[in-house]
């Protein structure tokens, strides 16, 4: 109980920090909890999160400024993962796509640890899936990092800059379903805590925990229907800070119709 109270006190303590959101605009974060949320690419922490997740969020804050103690450059790769070097950051500045259907029912994400397939939820998220398909066709996701991996929570990628601060040069808004639960295999779009619900750029995350405990503020993209074992393999290279032990790259994203 004392530990939980101490954690609550730390969260309440005001701080000043500036971050950059998914659309590349600076945002001002005013609490430790909000900084932690920005570091994992999500908004204000849900009341459903346990004290464990709050403590984890504080670890994220502590681990952001430099080398993380959990990282071991000599760490063994999980079977099925290739040893790769981090790609060069890419600067992307695109105009928003036209508001048209994505023309694709699913997307296969090929990574250095294998491939997984996302069934795009075109019915409930037409704008978000259309934007994702547009970015895939433009090659925005090719040779980019899975830059944030938190075991039991999420794996996150889609930032052409590779730092968690980049985006495609535009954002779109689409409210997610209000009854959406971020359970294992759900794929959604990341945003900064100061951005409105449903805003997205290019960064996306796959939920690896049974339930991420997030409020329905993150634009729905779809669900992993094949290759969840690959996502779990990627998860093995995560740390509590979210900084991967070793690079995992997205080689390309290909779209399938029908």
pLDDT of residue 74: 59
Intervals of the chain under pLDDT 70? 1-74
pLDDT of residue 68: 39
Which domains are present in the chain? 2-62 (no CATH), 106-256 (2.40.100.10)
pLDDT of residue 62: 28
User: pTM here?
Assistant: 0.75
SS3 for 77-99 is: CCCCCCCCCCCCCCCCCCCCCCC
pLDDT of residue 100: 77
pLDDT of residue 87: 96
pLDDT of residue 63: 33
pLDDT tens string 28-70? 222 333 333 444 454 333 334 433 343 333 333 223 333 333 4
pLDDT of residue 258: 72
pLDDT of residue 73: 52
With beta carbons less than 8 A apart as the criterion, state whether 103 and 133 touch. yes
pLDDT of residue 133: 96
Q: How far apart are CA 1 and CA 250, in angstroms?
A: 42
Q: How far apart are the two ends of the chain, measured CA to CA in Å? A: 53
């Amino acid at each position: 109980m004392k530990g939980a109270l101490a954690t609550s006190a730390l969260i309440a303590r005001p701080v000043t920090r500036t971050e950059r959101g998914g659309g590349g605009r600076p945002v001002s974060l005013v609490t430790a909890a909000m900084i932690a949320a920005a570091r994992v690419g999500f908004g204000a922490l849900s009341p459903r999160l346990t004290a464990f997740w709050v403590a984890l969020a504080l670890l994220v804050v502590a681990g952001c400024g430099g080398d993380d103690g959990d990282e071991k450059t000599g760490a063994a790769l999980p079977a099925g993962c290739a040893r790769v070097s981090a790609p060069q950051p890419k600067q992307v500045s695109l105009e928003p796509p036209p508001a048209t259907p994505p023309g694709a029912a699913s997307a296969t994400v090929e990574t250095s640890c294998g491939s997984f397939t996302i069934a795009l939820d075109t019915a409930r998220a037409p704008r978000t899936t259309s934007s994702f398909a547009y970015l895939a066709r433009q090659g925005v996701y090719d040779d980019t990092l899975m830059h944030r991996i938190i075991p039991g929570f999420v794996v996150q990628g889609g930032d052409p800059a590779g730092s968690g601060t980049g985006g495609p040069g535009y954002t779109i808004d689409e409210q997610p379903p209000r009854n959406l639960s971020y359970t294992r295999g759900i794929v959604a779009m990341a945003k900064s805590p100061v951005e409105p619900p449903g805003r997205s750029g290019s960064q996306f995350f796959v939920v690896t925990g049974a339930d991420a405990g997030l409020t329905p503020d993150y634009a729905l993209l779809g669900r992993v229907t094949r290759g969840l074992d690959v996502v779990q393999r990627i998860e093995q290279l995560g740390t509590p800070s979210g900084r991967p032990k070793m690079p995992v790259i997205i080689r390309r994203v290909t779209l399938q119709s029908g």
